[in-house]
Amino acid sequence: MLQAGVARVDITPPLGLPLGCWAARRCLSRGAREPLVAQALVLSDGERTAALVTMDLVFAGRDLTDAVRARVRELTGIPPESVLVHATHSHSAPSLSRGSGVAGLQDAAGFEAYTAVLPDLVSGAVFAAHRRLRPAHVGAAVTHAPGLSVNRVRHERPVDDAVTVIRVDDTGGAPLAAVVDFTAHPITVGGITTEWDAEYPAPLRAAVEAELPGVECLFVQGCAGDVAPFDDWWFGNWDASRHSYERRDWLGEKLAEAALEAHARAEPSPDARVAAGAEWLDLRRRRHHYTADELREATEAWEAGAQPDWPETWSQEVHTMTSAQQFPASYMWGALTMYADMVERADVPVRTEVQALAVGDAAIAANSFELFNEPGSRIKASSPFGTTIAAAYTNDYLGYLPASDDLDLVAGVPLGDILDQDKWRWAYGITNSNVDRGEVDRLVEASTELLGRLHA
């Protein structure tokens, strides 16, 4: 018989440390809008046990993932390939890569003590959930939330607007866990705040948990590499609606309405098998035509220029859809660093883990990239399971991964042009992908094959 257990822990960083992921500001955190949390759902069918971990962080770097898995194995015996470590990708969390393989992505200073204790906090949630295992039923359903997201790279393209719910109840029908998946960058607040916050998953979880007393609502981020919240947030749109907590909460509550509708339709069953697996891929690093000398000269010119004196927070005129055009310096530095790394490590593959967990007829296929919407949708469409979540930002952070045809859009563009944010801001996520053309298809195929093996 299926058993399930849930737990959460507070992972809010200390105050007085640099706020997360936004350039063009220098604010230190002065408060927390709500706690940042790590949540765990452990599932067991008596033969196999698996754990889903979600965290209110930007990244789940490889170092953090390995440390959590090692400690979970010590505490519970759950093998590493059965522990999925996922970040919601909240841009209001600390900027900690923790072992990421992406050049130019650095841990913010001052978080050494926090990152030292973080693996124990997260693995402790899994331990607690494992200790709370009890008989459970599981079901899943999907609905849609049109108009709440947009393709921010090519806004004329469709996006995956599915809201997927995996429902876990105890045998008496009381809610135990609700895993909610949606695809959109958690960037609604932007750089206007002086507080830590968990982005739109926070009001989403709060609304679901208020409606279903006793439930633990875990949010899983989809393949949002080119997907933004709201229907007017696409790169280069100077008229995009503004960043605010009001907009954040509105989005979370709208998604909660959809999630509750799907939850009500999901029919929990006691007969659910648990499965998990993972495999490693070596993906070819991206080739470009920029030489080491050309990149060095451009970097030296950038370093010789005057660096701006950033304000503490953004003004209302600054928006993530146009910030690279308003403040291009940090974007140029990031691009130059990554392109130089591609030259230096041209023959070193991008090593990545593909993982999947399944319970009953529902599965989660996970990857470590900011996978674009179209490849993520292909994984879901080719899955043999009745309900499939394609989760990015899992077990590491390896940067953007667009469809192969998207890379053709920037092929052969001169370096001076590609750094011009007025011309190429729209292609963010394509210009700075570090995986070569065609390799995304290998990732999709490996994910599909793994899902097939688990289903069989």
pLDDT tens per residue, range 69-90: 999 999 999 999 999 999 999 9
Identify the pLDDT of residue 25. Answer: 85
Identify the pLDDT of residue 271. Answer: 87
Q: pLDDT tens for residues 395-429?
A: 999 999 999 999 999 999 999 999 999 999 999 99
Identify the pLDDT of residue 230. Answer: 98
Evaluate if residue 100 carries a pLDDT over 80: no
Evaluate if residue 221 carries a pLDDT over 70: yes
Among 26, 29, 28, 27, residue whose Cα is nearest residue 12: 29
DSSP H helices in 277-420: 292-304, 323-326, 329-344, 373-382, 404-408, 415-418
Identify the pLDDT of residue 349. Answer: 95
Among 252, 432, 409, residue whose Cα is nearest residue 341: 432
Evaluate if residue 21 carries a pLDDT over 90: no
Share of the chain above pLDDT 70, in %: 98
Instruction: Identify whether the C-beta of residue 130 lies closer than 8 Å to the C-beta of residue 75.
Output: yes
What value does the mean pLDDT take over residues 138-154?
98
Identify the pLDDT of residue 329. Answer: 83
Evaluate if residue 104 carries a pLDDT over 80: no
Half-sphere exposure of 380 (CA within 13 A, CB side): 24
Identify the pLDDT of residue 331. Answer: 85
90 CB neighbour count, 10 Å cutoff = 28
Q: pLDDT tens for residues 312-340?
A: 899 889 999 999 998 888 888 889 999 99
Q: What is the pTM of this model?
A: 0.97
User: CA dist 195 to 28, 245, 251, 360, Å?
Assistant: 8, 11, 19, 40
Identify the pLDDT of residue 23. Answer: 78
Confidence of residue 99 (pLDDT cuts 50, 70, 90): low
For residues 132 and 137, give the distance between their C-alpha atoms in angstroms, rounded to a whole number: 15
Confidence of residue 68 (pLDDT cuts 50, 70, 90): very high
Identify the pLDDT of residue 98. Answer: 62
Dihedral of alpha carbons 54, 60, 65, 68, sign = negative
Evaluate if residue 308 carries a pLDDT over 90: no
Residues 6+ apart with CB under 8 A from 412: 289
- How far is residue 221 CA from its own chain's centroid? 5
Identify the pLDDT of residue 327. Answer: 87
Identify the pLDDT of residue 305. Answer: 77
For residues 114 and 119, give the distance between their C-alpha atoms in angstroms, rounded to a whole number: 10
The mean predicted confidence, pLDDT, of the chain is 95
Identify the pLDDT of residue 26. Answer: 85
Among 139-153, 209-223, 330-344, 431-445, name the one with the lowest average pLDDT: 330-344
Instruction: Tally the residues of the chain.
Output: 456
Confidence of residue 49 (pLDDT cuts 50, 70, 90): very high
Identify the pLDDT of residue 310. Answer: 79
Tokens of 313: 């927070």
What value does the mean pLDDT take over residues 161-181?
98
